[in-house]
Chains A and B, each alone.
With several copies, the nearest count.
Chain A
């Protein structure tokens, strides 16, 4: 990873976090509604994985704002979607959990836990069939690894040797239930071991994520078949804005926040890539202003017209 990329990753992590805080604020003010799942704490994983998997298709979950942005979708279109505006990436009809942009090969937001994994398998099939050089990445939480859709996908991807990267964001929780209460072990990669090569990395460390995703991408695209990568991470907020996060002790939260990927990576920027305080501040300020503009854009964007209700159900009348 060179300095340019490192700076870009830091910038986007910062951007992502600023986005999430803004989303939180406007949720509390009532401009955003529905289920809002913040990615705060998990930005290293979201950003570095997207940078490493810059080409190819990505399928993700409802906790996907930061990924969408790191994929290249402008924050203002994501924010406008959260504000339910016609200019949002999904025209205001999808909302926070349903960000889609095929022009960025991002089929983001699925809100059925595990439900998008078979879709990613199918897309990987299409890419193999088309002889594409790019593979597919599917991102899901630890909780999704207990569901049938996930296992069927492991089996099919392995049987068909598909160019598919399974990226498991193991934050140890499914809403308020700890993974050890619903699976027999902490490391969900074990479930994939019979089927494919598995890897793991520290999901709080952007460099480690970048390295692992790059390696896995290379493997799947060189015909090695699917790879499972587990990244251990930690979310700082409740599951969604509706969750008070009461099931985690302050000690656990402290431990969790000590691993905050932003200061961690900032320090490395300074020490390894010799970024100056000014360089970093400039990045941070730019990110702040992009988010401010995104909020302004979202506020002023148009509401969908009534007729949108009946639009885009079908292609043909």
Chain B
């Protein structure tokens, strides 16, 4: 099954069970969704539940908030993360705060989904990552789906939960293949160990997890060590426990993320580690992240602006040599 099909399955199964669940967004209905995530839902659930909206992101999220207040369980799709900026007022001033400001009288069971990240030459207005901003907002739960099974389970969880969720996808993952295990549910807030190892803990999420996995063999060979690769999965809350266990074992940590390094999401993870696990570390923590530039159109520059399996391997090897791994 493809990642986008797993998401579609999560929609389908939840919508079949609960008719309060509706979805809304640009081209999600008749068109089937620009990344085909909502394909077939319009035909199956009708235009009242699969709602084609105007190009009005503020309203997409703002209406979803109102639907949730009115008793529905909306799932909003924003076509690309950059456009979500138009809805930041609704996400941050309303979606994340109404429950608290009302002292729990309002409940907002809703999800805002969007793809993000550097795809292929979509340039600066279509290539960004905003988890660093959204994870700084109390009142939102933020999940980032890096594989097929997680995508399915986590989206289902988010749709069925009574809390407001941001659900981040990556544009390059939609056609990723994998199995969905429906025999058991998973805890979407738990980080997943993608590969066990002893000497370096590599933390990542979303598409970068795949790139790290592609880099690991070379790193292990060149540094003669083993790496533990952790997929954070939930970006807020962060499963610090899993990180701690791994870092206490390895004593060394690398954080790999795609977004710009300055102010990036990884800073929060590294800051926490520096504060809480300082005495467990044998080497300085190390962040590998995107360059502090808007994303350029040219493919070569674009690839220079973000981590790649090669650059991840090269940087970790260099860092490892410098720090006696």
On A, residues with C-beta under 8 Å from B are: 33-35, 57, 59, 84-85, 89-98, 100-102, 107, 109-127, 129-130, 143-144, 146-149, 152-153, 155-156, 159, 174-177, 181-183, 247, 303-304, 306, 308-316
B26 on the A face (CB < 8 A): yes
B304 on the A face (CB < 8 A): yes
B70 on the A face (CB < 8 A): yes
B305 on the A face (CB < 8 A): yes
Q: Which residues from 87 to 144 on chain B have a C-beta closer than 8 Å to any C-beta of chain A? A: 89-90, 93-94, 98-107, 120-126, 138-139, 141
Q: Determine, out of B2-10, B53-61, B201-209, B221-229, the stretch whose residues face the partner at the interface.
A: B53-61
Say which residue of A112, A309, A315 sits within 8 Å of B94 (CB atoms).
A112
* Interface pair B125/A93, CB less than 8 Å apart: no
Q: What distance in Å separates the Cβ of B65 from its nearest Cβ neighbour in chain A? A: 5
Say which residue of B29, B71, B99 sits within 8 Å of A130 (CB atoms).
B71
Q: A34-B121, A182-B52, A316-B162 are in contact. Are A176 and B31 (CB under 8 A)?
A: yes
Among A34, A101, A113, A122, the most chain B Cβ lie within 10 Å of the Cβ of A122
Q: Which residues from 23 to 81 on chain B have a C-beta closer than 8 Å to any C-beta of chain A? A: 26-27, 29-31, 34, 48, 52-56, 58-59, 61-72, 74
- Within the assembled complex, what's the spacing in Å between the Cα atoms of A118 and B94? 11
B293 on the A face (CB < 8 A): yes
* Interface pair B102/A94, CB less than 8 Å apart: yes
Q: Which residues of A contact B272 (CB under 8 A)?
A: none
Total of A-B residue pairs, C-beta within 8 Å: 252
Q: Which residues of B contact A59 (CB under 8 A)?
A: 66
Residue of A nearest to B141 (CB): A314
Q: Which residues of A contact B26 (CB under 8 A)?
A: 174-175, 177
- Within the assembled complex, what's the spacing in Å between the Cα atoms of A303 and B22? 40
Q: Which residues of A contact B83 (CB under 8 A)?
A: 112-113
B296 on the A face (CB < 8 A): yes
* Interface pair A156/B94, CB less than 8 Å apart: no
Say which residue of B31, B65, B293, B297 sits within 8 Å of A122 (CB atoms).
B65
* Interface pair A119/B30, CB less than 8 Å apart: no
Q: Which residues of A contact B107 (CB under 8 A)?
A: 315
Residue of A nearest to B76 (CB): A122
